[in-house]
């Protein structure tokens, strides 16, 4: 067999950005959180806020799975679709073997592609869903991500019941889940571009210091987005990063400024926003759910933001690699959304 390539038209711009021919639409979305997120400054924007973090389940892992189940069902309901209308489910989470996503995929019965991008998974899933839709492989795709403070802290650092002290630059893993339905047509924000990140390591070894570890990956992807699409911060209403937190977002801003690009007028970070200074969350929120619930629940819903860059960052270490003395490798994926 010989492939004819004469009519091959690449959708790639520059280094690592892809422009969609028919920008897929986010036709519906839903967000679910725990109580701490609910009493935070953005609590009223989340669709469902639970009053505790175990929500009647037997374990924190099952509580996390239930939150994703809620988010997925609510997103489908809002989009007026059922499992049968969806071609593919793309999901991932922080837990070992991405079990939250796997058990939800089991319940849904939709063909499933499992992803792992740590806290970058929200954008990774939207980016891939958009590629599958724009590539004529799917008409509708469902995405979901989640994190849970008690399941994530136990796995990555210490059980929350232990009550250990946390350094001032640490972040608080957000408890919650978000889900969205993307379609080849419909009413809603459109995903016009996506940028795949590359893995970076700037020498951070401290698993509490995620913001500093991830900032260089965020900066690299953001600069790539501007360069690849030949745009500047003036072309956008909002640039939002996932979970760099108060310290990491400052580092990100400075790294980008050092390349001559001033993002200060359009820049916000979900991790720096989701909690306020009275909530004892130190540098802010983190986790897959942080970027997901803030983007889907708040930023994409605000009329004033018409052209938005969302960059979700992920720390790709494991407790094993940290214990074996490795640095923390990180990644950041980006999407451009237009209304």
Does residue 109 bind a copy of itself (CB under 8 A)? yes
Told to check if 116 binds a copy of itself by CB under 8 A, we report yes
CB of 273 to a copy of itself, least distance (A): 26
User: Is 216 near a copy of itself (CB under 8 A)?
Assistant: no
Residue 30 touches a copy of itself, criterion: CB under 8 A: no
Q: What is the DSSP string of 161-206?
A: GG-----TT--EEPPEEEEEEEESSSSS-EEEEEE----B--S---
Instruction: Considering the complex, state which of residue 213 and residue 246 has its C-beta at the smaller distance from a copy of itself.
Output: 213
Instruction: Report the C-alpha gap between 339 and 331 in whole angstroms.
Output: 27
What phi and psi values does residue 286 have, to the nearest 5 degrees? Answer: -155, -175
Indicate the helix (H) or strand (E) that contains 66. Answer: helix 60-78
Supply the angle between the helices 210-229 and 245-257 in degrees, to the nearest 10.
40
Dihedral sign of CA atoms 29, 266, 236, 232 in order: negative
Q: Which segment (40-48, 94-102, 243-251, 297-305) binds a copy of itself by CB under 8 A?
A: 94-102
# of chain residues touching a copy of itself (CB under 8 A): 74
| Mode of pairing for the β-strands spanning 12-13 and 17-19 | antiparallel
Window 32 to 91, contacts with a copy of itself (CB under 8 A): 58-59, 61-62, 87-88
Q: Which of 39, 185, 254, 259 binds a copy of itself (CB under 8 A)?
A: 185
128 binds a copy of itself (CB under 8 A): yes
Alpha-carbon 297 to chain mean position: 12
Q: Is 228 in the site for a copy of itself (CB under 8 A)?
A: no
Out of 97, 232, 264, 302, name the contact with a copy of itself by CB under 8 A. 97
Exactly one of 55, 71, 152, 331 binds a copy of itself (CB under 8 A); that residue is 331
Residue 112 or 169 having the CB closest to a copy of itself:
112
Residue 159 within binding range of a copy of itself, rule CB under 8 A: no
Indicate the residue among 5 and 280 with the shorter CB distance to a copy of itself: 5
> Is 169 among the residues that bind a copy of itself (CB under 8 A)?
no
| The residue count for the chain | 339
Residue 14 as a binder of a copy of itself (CB under 8 A): the answer is no
Residue (of 52, 54, 31, 51) closest to 42 by Cα position: 31
The answer to whether 158 contacts a copy of itself (rule: CB under 8 A) is no
- Distance between CA atoms of residues 280 and 163, nearest Å: 13
334 is an interface residue for a copy of itself by CB under 8 A: no
C-alpha to C-alpha distance for 273 and 42, rounded to whole angstroms:
8
Window contacting a copy of itself (CB under 8 A); options: 68-76, 129-137, 234-242, 280-288: 129-137
Residue closest to 198 by CA, chosen among 37, 336, 313, 48: 313
Q: Which is nearer to a copy of itself, 100 or 249 (CB)?
A: 100
Q: Which stretch binds a copy of itself (CB under 8 A): 73-81, 133-141, 263-271, 289-297?
A: 133-141
- Pick from 37, 134, 153, 273 the residue near a copy of itself by CB under 8 A: 134
For a copy of itself, the closer CB: 117 or 284: 117
Hey, is 247 helix, strand or coil? helix
Contact call for residue 243 and a copy of itself (CB under 8 A): no
277 in contact with a copy of itself (CB under 8 A): no
Listed residue (65, 122, 126) closest to 99, CA to CA: 65
> Alpha-carbon distance 32 to 175, whole Å?
9
């Amino acid at each position: 067999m010989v492939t004819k390539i004469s009519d091959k038209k690449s959708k790639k711009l520059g280094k690592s950005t892809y422009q969609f021919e028919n920008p897929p639409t986010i036709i519906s979305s839903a967000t679910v959180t725990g109580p701490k997120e609910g009493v935070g400054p953005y609590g009223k924007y989340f669709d469902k806020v639970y009053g505790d973090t175990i929500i009647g389940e037997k374990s924190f892992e099952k509580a996390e799975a239930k939150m994703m189940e809620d988010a997925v069902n609510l997103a489908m309901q809002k989009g007026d679709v059922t499992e049968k209308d969806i071609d593919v489910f793309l999901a991932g989470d922080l837990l070992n073997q991405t079990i939250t996503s796997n058990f939800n995929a089991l319940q849904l019965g939709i063909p499933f592609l499992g992803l792992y991008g740590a806290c970058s998974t929200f954008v990774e899933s939207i980016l891939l869903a958009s590629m599958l839709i724009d590539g004529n492989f799917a008409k509708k795709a469902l995405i979901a991500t989640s994190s849970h403070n008690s399941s994530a802290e136990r796995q990555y650092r210490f059980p929350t019941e232990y009550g250990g002290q946390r350094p001032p630059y640490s972040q608080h893993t957000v408890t919650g889940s978000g889900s969205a339905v993307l379609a080849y047509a419909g009413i809603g924000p459109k995903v016009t571009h996506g940028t795949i990140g590359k893995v970076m390591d700037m020498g951070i070894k401290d698993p509490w210091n995620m913001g500093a570890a991830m900032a260089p990956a965020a900066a690299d992807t953001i600069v790539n987005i501007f360069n690849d699409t030949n745009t500047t911060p003036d072309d956008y209403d909002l640039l939002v990063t996932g979970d760099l937190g108060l310290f990491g977002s400052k580092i990100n801003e400075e790294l980008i400024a050092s390349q001559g690009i001033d993002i200060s007028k359009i820049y916000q970070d979900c991790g720096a926003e989701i909690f306020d200074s009275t909530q004892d969350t130190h540098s802010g929120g983190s986790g897959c759910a942080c970027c997901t619930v803030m983007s889907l629940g708040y930023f994409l819903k605000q009329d004033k933001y018409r052209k938005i860059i969302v960059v979700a960052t992920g720390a790709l270490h494991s407790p094993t690699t940290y214990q074996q003395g490795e640095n923390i490798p990180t990644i950041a994926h980006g999407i451009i959304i237009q209304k």
